[in-house]
Each structure stands twice: as C-alpha cells, then as structure tokens.
Amino acid sequence: MTDLLVRKHAPDPTGVVVEVTPESAGWCHVGFKAVELAPGARAEGGEPGREACLVVLSGTADIAVGGESFAGLGGRASVFEDKAPGAVYAPAGARWTVTARTPVELAVCTAPGTGGGAPRAIAPGRMSREVRGQGTNTRHVRNILPESEPAESLLVVEVITPGGHWSSYPPHKHDTATAEQETALEETYYHRLDPPQGFAFQRVYTDDRSLDQTMAVQDGDVVMVPRGYHPVGAPHGYDLYYLNVMAGPERRWIFRNDPAHDWIARKAPA
C-alpha cells in the first residue's frame, strides 16, 4: 500500500519543497507542488493536456500565462492572514512563468484538460468565503476555484482550522461515481501549521478498512487521498491551514459522510 504522507524537504534547485504527480501517487488526475521563491526568482511550467491553477499562498508575484500578464498578485504575509491569495488559471498547454517580487510561497495545482478557456487572474471577490460546522467543528473556508468558476477538471479550496478543532468532519468521502449522491475525486491536502513546530493528525480510511492510515502531519507536508474518508484534527494551540486540490472524471464536489458518524452533521445546534 502506498504511503499517503509526503514530507516537505529542502528546496531543490527550482525551489520545489514538496510534490505529488499522478505517477508518484498512482492515480490519474491531481498534481500538486509547493515552491519557495526568493525575490527575483522564477518558476515556470505548463504541460500539454494539463490545466493549472497557480496560487500565490504568501508574498507578491507577477504571473505570465500564454502571452497574458498579471502583475502584483498576492500580498498576504502568510497563509494564516485573513485575505484572499493571488491566483491565476492557466489552460492546458499554456506556458506560464511566476516571478517573485518578495519571498513567495507558490502552489501549482494541475489536472487533465484539453486547452479550453483563457488565462485569467481569479479576482479575490470571486473567492467566496464561508464558515462551516459549529463548536469545535468550526472551520473557515475560502473557495479559490470552485465548480461555479470556469475550469475543466480542477477544484481548489483553502481551509483554516483553529487549534483544538476538527475539519473535513464528520468524516466524508468522494470516491465513487453515484449519480447525484457522490462524485469520484482524487484529493491532496497541503498542510501548514501556526506556530510551525506544531503537528496535526489526518486519518484516511475506507468502509472495509482495506485502506486505513493515520498520519502525524508536520508543517509543509502533503497527504494524498486516493479514496476513503479523510478527517483532520488540529491540537490545542496550533492553527491548521490546508490547501485542497481535487479532480476526477466529473467536476462536481458531491460527498458522502461515514454513516457511523453522520449523526454529527444532523445534530441541531444547542
């Protein structure tokens, strides 16, 4: 069974600190990497058959995609600042370049595409913000590239879970194509912690327990979710951020809660 936890490492010559490809994950759709750039440094890419969402998680950068230029995107000090990130959609096959004005943390999110659509910056006002859950299940969600916004395969969302809270909870899954009940989506979780010496826990498990891994996640790690339920817990004292990238045969997010724990979602507020 593939280890679902991918640890952050020192930057390689291109600034990459963690990466998941369809080949390394053993799946078909989601690609993800995090890149750290010094001021003036550049990251570039673009693949035939794969669209991208470039997210300036922190810092400020200029982004060029297929002849279009988008200047001064981003600007937040860290992923924990309550502010939308900079983000650009790059159609499949379009070459892109990200040039850092300040130290930059960049997420490169990719999935299959045919090259439809045009390059565009995603305006902060298009990234809807919501609060989910209640009590110690409360978390704060920003939809960077939801299904209501144009793309071919990608879904991208970021979440902040306060210390002592649970997230992706009650445990839910999206691994079967069941009309109007569930969609089949691969998913990555890119985790950040504040303060960074903290940790969090994530479990990935199926009904029959043929997959059942519980991982202690550190700052900068990625968890792959090929199938199954995937709840996350943030210990007291450590706020947890994660960036989710999802993609599958159908670009809709329809999930199913673990029947054993679905009562939590149905419980009326006190």
Q: What is the pLDDT of residue 269?
A: 57
Match 């997210």 to its residue by tokens.
55
Question: Which residues of the chain carry a pLDDT beneath 50?
Answer: 1
Beta bridge partners of 167: 232
Q: What is the pLDDT of residue 174?
A: 98
Q: What is the DSSP letter of 29?
A: S
- Cα of first residue to Cα of last residue in the chain, in angstroms, is 42
Q: What is the pLDDT of residue 1?
A: 40
247 in Cβ contact with 111 (< 8 Å): yes
Tokens linked to 71: 């200047």
Q: What is the pLDDT of residue 71?
A: 98
Tokens linked to 157: 């969302």
Q: What is the pLDDT of residue 2?
A: 63
* 45-58 pLDDT tens trace: 999 999 999 999 99
Residue type, 213: Q
Q: What is the pLDDT of residue 266?
A: 84
Domains and CATH numbers, the chain: 5-266 (2.60.120.10)
Selection from 35, 31, 33, 32 nearest residue 11 by Cα: 35
How many angstroms separate the CA atoms of 188 and 5, rounded?
10
Cis before 22? omega within 30: no
17 in Cβ contact with 53 (< 8 Å): no
**Cα separations (Å) of 172 from 98, 100, 135, 157?**
35, 37, 19, 16
Dihedral angle sign, alpha carbons of residues 209, 186, 165, 18: positive
Pairing type for strands 239-247 and 155-161 reads antiparallel
36 in Cβ contact with 78 (< 8 Å): no
How many angstroms separate the CA atoms of 141 and 158, rounded?
6
Own/partner long-range contacts of 207-214 (Cβ < 8 Å, ≥24 apart): 207/258, 211/1, 213/1, 213/3, 213/4, 213/5
